[in-house]
Amino acid sequence: MNVSVVILAAGAGTRMKSKMPKVLHKICGKEMLFYSIDEALQISDDVHIVLFHQENTIKERVICAYKQAYANGALHFHLQDHAHYPGTGGALMQGQSAGINAKKPFCYQYDEILILNGDMPLVRSQTLKSLCQNKAQIVMSVLHLQNPFGYGRVVIESGEVQRIIEQKDATESELVIQDVNAGVYKFHKSILELYLPQVQNANNQQEFYLTDVIFYAKENGVKIAALQVKEEEFMGVNSKIQLSSAQEVMLQRLREKAMEQGVIMHLPHTIYIESNVTFSGECIIEQGVQILGDSYISDSHIKAHSVIEQSIIESSDVGPLAHIRPKSHIKNTHIGNFVETKSSILRGVKVGHLSYLGDCEVDEGSNIGAGVITCNYDGKAKHKTIIGKSVFVGSDVQLIAPLKIESNVLIGAGSTITKDIEYGDLALSRTAQQNIKDGFFKFFSPKNEEKKEE
Ligand code: UD1
Ligand code: CA
């Protein structure tokens, strides 16, 4: 679309009570600001981000996540002159660097400018697109809320928007207004050029409000299109309570999308999935499962209360109560309860119970007994364990890495393996069992009258 998008992300976010900039707080594993950038890039190749608080941290993170868009010149950054021009209106002004025209707007590629608050992670590109299709010189978004607390109230008279009053500036009678400013606007370039310089900071927060542009334009007879929008997409996130409410909405969307693709979910409201998780084929996800990061799950059954982090699982069953940690690739494999993997590749393996497999590769037909542990860390560095095909690792074996175990190997239960094992060998490392005659009675007196069997 021929529209430039500006994302306002320079606020301090004090209501968040956090050292981290508000827009970097995550929803389903993804930064709030990144949701806005993703949607903006769907509709525009001229996206501007206004920063101030922790400018460099945010900029670095954005450039790293959007290398391509940044290289293509689709992303631009501006620094708000916060000391002189605080507020959402100030965020659009060039500031002192522009000299006497400090209040003039930045330069944009297109004549239509869509402005988004950076704390609205739920808004979708499709909705933004339809908002942009309205040809009025000013288009704003209005929410009707049971509880309008915190939002700017929209004063509407005879069906027309007159002005917007912030919570902190409102009178008692204005506070009861339930129509609020949702924080997405489209302005024609000429509107910003004419009315942004008129904005003053004579209000209780001593800030330059973007919303005053609408007031001045209205005073000069400009028509304002006020579009009713839904809270589900337009809620602003100012506090950690609102962060959790927005996450609930996002989670529901992600779960519904997965189910529409054919995933079966047991008790979906107990399942947590992050925004970069992808599914394919037929999957079953049981209650209480968490799937995080860029995980990919294909034709697999993830049983109750398992946690999958940043891993690939194909044609396998996992859990209940398994922990698949980052960089695991699990294929045609059975993983039972209380199994933990990390940076491990398992192809056609059975790991039934209570194991830790870290930094290892296990090949087809191998069986890992209960209680097997790869000792991958010597206190200084991580080492690999490579296990071939059709290896039978007995219960309670410690595999001290680095280690290479060739195919068709049998390892006796309870062994501590420190040396490589060759094809076809049986490895045992345990002391021979001794049975000491009447040894029990050296420590205890007889507890019952049961006679020793003859
Ligand atoms: C703003 C609106 C309010 C609306 C609400 C919707 C104004 C004056 N008020 O209030 O009418 O109902 O959003 O959610 O616009 N920001 C900057 N620079 C600043 C201050 C803020 O870039 O100096 C950015 C913030 O990072 C944030 C966005 O602008 O992403 C909105 O700021 P915030 O302080 O959350 O505004 P609200 O008080 O919620
Ligand atoms: Ca806000």
Which residue minimizes the CA distance to atom 3 of ligand 1? 152
Q: What is the pLDDT of residue 152?
A: 97
Strand 30-31 to strand 26-27: parallel, antiparallel, or no bridges (unpaired)? Answer: antiparallel
Sign, CA dihedral 390-396-401-403, equals negative
Q: Is residue 45 in contact with ligand 1, taking CB distance under 6 Å?
A: no
Nearest CA to ligand 1 atom 21: 11
Nearest alpha carbon, ligand 1 atom 30: 118
CATH H superfamily, domain 240-427: Hexapeptide repeat proteins (2.160.10.10)
Q: Which residues of 237-276 are buried (b: 16+ CB within 10 A; e: fewer)?
A: bbeeebbeebbebbbeebbeebeeeebebeebeebbbbbb
What is the Å distance from ligand 1's center to 185 Cα? 12
- Report the distance separating Cα 246 and Cα 123, nearest Å: 11
CA nearest 292: which of 264, 260, 251, 330? 251
| CB 208 less than 6 A from any atom of ligand 1 | no
Is 353 part of the annotated catalytic residue set?
yes
How far, in Å, from the CA of 294 to the mean position of ligand 1? 31
pLDDT of residue 446: 81
- Distance, CA 170 to ligand 2 centroid (Å)? 17
Task: List per-residue pLDDT tens for the chain, 454 residues long.
Answer: 999 999 999 988 999 999 999 999 999 999 999 999 999 999 999 999 999 999 999 999 999 999 999 999 999 999 999 999 999 999 999 998 888 889 999 999 999 999 999 999 999 999 999 999 999 999 999 999 999 999 999 999 998 999 999 999 999 999 999 999 999 999 999 999 999 999 999 999 999 999 999 999 999 999 999 999 999 999 999 999 999 999 999 999 999 999 999 999 999 999 999 999 999 999 999 999 999 999 999 999 999 999 999 999 999 999 999 999 999 999 999 999 999 999 999 999 999 999 999 999 999 999 999 999 999 999 999 999 999 999 999 999 999 999 999 999 999 999 999 999 999 999 999 988 999 999 999 999 887 666 665 5
CA distance 159 to 289: 49
Q: Is 306 in the pocket of ligand 1 (CB under 6 A)?
A: no
- Confidence (pLDDT) at 447: 72
For residue 117, how far is its CA from the centre of ligand 1 (angstroms)?
6
> Would you state the pLDDT for residue 202?
96
Q: Assign domain 3-228 to its CATH superfamily.
A: Spore Coat Polysaccharide Biosynthesis Protein SpsA; Chain A (3.90.550.10)
**Domain chopping of the chain, boundaries:** 3-228, 240-427
**Considering 53, 84, 353, 383, which one is annotated as catalytic?**
353
pLDDT of residue 453: 59
Cβ contact 40:75 at 8 Å: no
Spatial separation of the C-alpha atoms in residues 260 and 171, rounded to whole Å: 47
Q: Report the b/e string of 306-328 with b at 16+ CB within 10 A.
A: bbbbbbbbbebbbbbebbbbebb
Site to substitute for ligand 1 among 103, 117, 239, most atoms within 8 A of C-beta: 117
Question: Hey, how many other C-beta atoms are within 10 angstroms of the C-beta on 135?
Answer: 10
For the chain, the distance separating the N- and C-terminal CA atoms, rounded to the nearest angstrom, is 94
Q: Is 89 in the pocket of ligand 1 (CB under 6 A)?
A: no
Domains 3-228 and 240-427 agree in fold: no
Q: Name the amino acid, one letter, at 264.
A: I
Q: For residues 201, 205, 208 and 214, what is the CA-based torsion angle, rounded to 10 degrees?
A: -100
Ligand 1 atom with the smallest distance to the CA of 151 is 12
Count Cβ atoms below 10 Å from residue 156 Cβ, excluding itself.
15
Token couple for 26: 């995550």
> What phi and psi, each to the nearest 5 degrees, are found at residue 23?
-70, -10
Give the ligand 1 atom nearest the CA of 22. 26
* Angular region, 288: left φ>0, alpha ψ -120 to 50, beta rest: left
Of the candidates 113, 105, 45, the residue with the CA atom closest to the CA atom of residue 78: 105
What are the strands of the beta sheet with 416-417, ordered from one edge?
272-273, 290-292, 307-309, 323-324, 340-342, 356-358, 373-375, 398-400, 416-417
- Sign of the Cα pseudo-torsion (43, 93, 196, 111, in order): negative
Whether 369 lines ligand 1, by a CB cut-off of 6 Å, is no
For the chain, the maximum distance between any two Cα atoms, rounded to a whole number of angstroms, is 111
Going from the Cα of 76 to the center of ligand 1, the distance in angstroms, rounded, reads 20
Position in ligand 1 atom list of the atom nearest CA 87: 23
Q: Of all protein residues, whose CA lies closest to atom 23 belonging to ligand 1? A: 87
Region of 99 on the Ramachandran plot (φ > 0 left; ψ -120 to 50 alpha; else beta): left
Establish whether residue 9 lines the binding site of ligand 1, counting it when its CB lies within 6 angstroms of any ligand atom.
yes
**Ligand 1: does its nearest atom lie under 6 Å from the Cβ of 229?**
no
CB of 333 within 6 A of ligand 1: the answer is no
Kindly state if the Cβ of 122 falls inside 6 Å of ligand 1.
no
Q: How many Å lie between the centroid of ligand 1 and the Cα of residue 231?
A: 16
Cα(123)–Cα(126) distance, integer angstroms: 9
